[in-house]
Amino acid sequence: MSVWSCYYGFRNSLYKNFIQEISRTSKTDAFLVPDPNRVDYWRKRLKSIGNGPYIGISWKSADMSPIRLPNYASILELSSVLQISHLNFVNLQYTEFAGDLALVQDELGVTVHNFDDLDHLNNIDDVAALCSALDMVVSTKTTVPLISAAVGTSTKLANWKQSSWNTILNNPVGPSIDIFERNTWEPWDNVFNLIKEDIFKLNQN
């Protein structure tokens, strides 16, 4: 069983025991606490790539089968977000991301920083610590926003409204999660433009 599968099982078993409380509360408290020493470590690493704000991004699953595909956006569909100036973007994608990061660099002239020494797939403890050190996370329906919302980081979820995963058990829960939805017949453009407006607010603070 993979580390990510263990995380899903742990999270869903927690939800089953606290489903009534979750249902009553629109903004729950952070419930995942990363190692504070690792959070400090990642804050220092982030400073090494430049000034913040630091925005983590994730856009696809390891399983991009046709039935799952509408949940995800191509990385270029995040272009309205990625082209915001004075931000540092950080890769939180855990599989097959090198080509996409090169594409963004070539097409948009935007660097999405990746920490090569972080095992995004197998080291969830450090992924959680890095998420905690970030100012915001922007993602489609991957495991990443479940972690970032759980540690209390401002999380913007680009969500497919008609997805069978669009349930209280599968949507992120945390103190600062905003869900932006698109219908099946709509492109992702409006969702990411709305997220861009929220990031502008962060960038002005």
Q: What's the pLDDT at 66?
A: 85
Q: What is d(CA 58, CA 121) in angstroms, rounded to the nearest whole number?
A: 13
Contacts of 95 (CB under 8 A, 6+ apart): 62, 120, 121
Q: What residue type is assigned to position 22 of the chain?
A: I
Fill in the amino acid letter for 149.
Answer: A
Q: How many domains does the chain have?
A: 1
CATH number for the domain spanning 49: value is 3.40.50.2000
Question: What strands lie across the sheet with 54-58, from one edge to the other?
Answer: 112-113, 88-91, 54-58, 136-139, 154-160, 177-182
pLDDT of residue 18: 63
pLDDT exceeds 80 at position 163: yes
Asked whether the predicted pLDDT for residue 189 surpasses 60, the reply is yes
Q: What is the pLDDT of residues 94-148, one digit of tens each?
A: 988 999 999 999 999 999 999 999 999 899 999 999 999 999 999 999 999 999 9
Structure confidence at residue 1 (pLDDT): 43
Q: Give the confidence band of 184 by pLDDT, cuts at 50, 70, 90.
A: very high
pTM score, whole prediction = 0.86
Q: Which amino acid is at 191?
A: V
The pLDDT of residue 23 is 60
DSSP 38-74: HHHHHHHHHHTT-SS-EEEEE---S---TTTGGG---
> Per DSSP, which regions of the chain are E strands?
54-58, 88-91, 112-113, 136-139, 154-160, 177-182
* Residue range of the domain that includes 154: 3-204
